[in-house]
Amino acid sequence: MPDCEVASMNDKARKETILSGMQPTGKLHLGNLEGALRNWVRLQDEYWMYCCIVDWHSLTEVYADTSELKESVFAMAVDFMAAGLDPEKCAIFVQSEVKEHAELHLIFSMLITVPTLTRLPTYREKKDDLSLDSYGFLGYPVLQAADICIYNAHKVPVGKDQEKHIWLAKDLAIRFNQTYRKVFVEPEPLFTPIPLILGSDNRKMSKSLNNHIPIDFTEKETEKRIKSYYTDPKKVRKGDPGTPEGCPIYLLHQLYTADAADKIAPPCRTGELGCVDCKKQATENLNVALRPIRDRRAELVKQPDYVWDVLATGRDRATQRAQSVMDKVRRAMKTDYRYKKR
């Protein structure tokens, strides 16, 4: 059982720890909700969950302008809770508030070579687009490994694109254990089916592409965004046969419309259903599904003190656990110096 327990985390069935992290890059959108948060909400009943808002990671790409960071951290905490993360069941906290992440990052950085990091696909793909090809960006998978290992997390829910980073965290845990003494659990990725959510331009939903549907959109804004969505280009008007597979609106129906395979796909194919009506139905069903989350969100925004208190409590719980692991690290490395007071 972890050293730090959230008050109601007394379910004996929960034996393993999970670390989940997300960068505070602004308000969450449908892709974040369906791709990660819904899964985390399910996992909080099965595991000891540490839900970390990884603000230091956000500096690896946007380091100069931090003027909106605090607001983004707050918005993310609100979105986490609105989506169903329960601070009674999991620790919700900000990475930079638990300094042990940085300490372990530094120690791990001695156990890995620069060529190993430069070979990682995420580094190679992004480095040319960065305003600064920084040491921090190169080392962010090492910080990620520290984020995971500082809680001795067994599992990390990730998409396939992050898989290599989890193996790197596992390698670092093994390397530390072999070099000094066994301290770390060897973390594993936890893959769960992630529904595909595309943005209005048929590309991956992303705030930076402005093709997204933020959770806090009003119902009217949602309607407007869905009206602008790409559909099958061969289906120009009602009556034209369409191909639902590959249409991002059909993907929304698959998530939010009961029996979409029977109610949407066949009439799309025959032409009986036009894209205008199809989008209208998708909008209605999406708005109904998001209504409870949006209502909770609106309530939480009115209680900023409560939200910051949740983050403070989460920080304390996370710190307790991180300090206990860090003590073991120092003892294993024989750096647990005990000076007499002068």
Interaction site with ligand SF4 (CB under 6 A):
231-232, 235, 242, 244, 247, 249-250, 264, 268, 273, 275, 278-279
> With respect to ligand SF4, which residue has the nearer C-beta, 76 or 278?
278
Q: What is the β-pairing status of strands 48-53 and 17-22?
A: parallel
**Cβ of residue 283: shortest distance to ligand SF4, in angstroms?**
11
Chain centroid to CA 91: 14
- Kindly state the helix (H) or strand (E) to which residue 245 belongs, with its residue range: none
Write down the catalytic residue from 12, 27, 70, 204: 204
Contact by Cβ (8 Å): 48, 14:
yes
> With respect to ligand SF4, which residue has the nearer C-beta, 31 or 244?
244
**Cβ of residue 241: shortest distance to ligand SF4, in angstroms?**
9
> With respect to ligand SF4, which residue has the nearer C-beta, 55 or 232?
232
CA neighbor of 317 nearest in space, from 11, 53, 97, 24:
97
**Cβ of residue 30: shortest distance to ligand SF4, in angstroms?**
17
- Kindly state the helix (H) or strand (E) to which residue 194 belongs, with its residue range: none
> With respect to ligand SF4, which residue has the nearer C-beta, 209 or 236?
236
Paired strand residues for 93: 52
User: Residue 189: helix, strand or coil by DSSP?
Assistant: strand
Write down the catalytic residue from 15, 27, 182, 207: 207
> With respect to ligand SF4, which residue has the nearer C-beta, 157 or 244?
244
**Cβ of residue 216: shortest distance to ligand SF4, in angstroms?**
25
Q: In what order do the strands lie in the sheet with 48-53?
A: 90-94, 48-53, 17-22, 155-157, 188-190
Residue type for 105, please? H
d(CA 236, CA 136): 49
Catalytic annotation present for 207 = yes
Contact by Cβ (8 Å): 238, 252:
no
Residue whose entry in the numeric block shows the structure tokens 């910051």: 308
Contact by Cβ (8 Å): 155, 185:
no
d(CA 177, CA 263): 55
Neighbours of 338 (CB within 10 A): 4
Contact by Cβ (8 Å): 83, 293:
yes
Residue whose entry in the numeric block shows the structure tokens 């989506």: 83
Contact by Cβ (8 Å): 138, 117:
yes
d(CA 150, CA 50): 11
Residues annotated as catalytic are 126, 204, 207
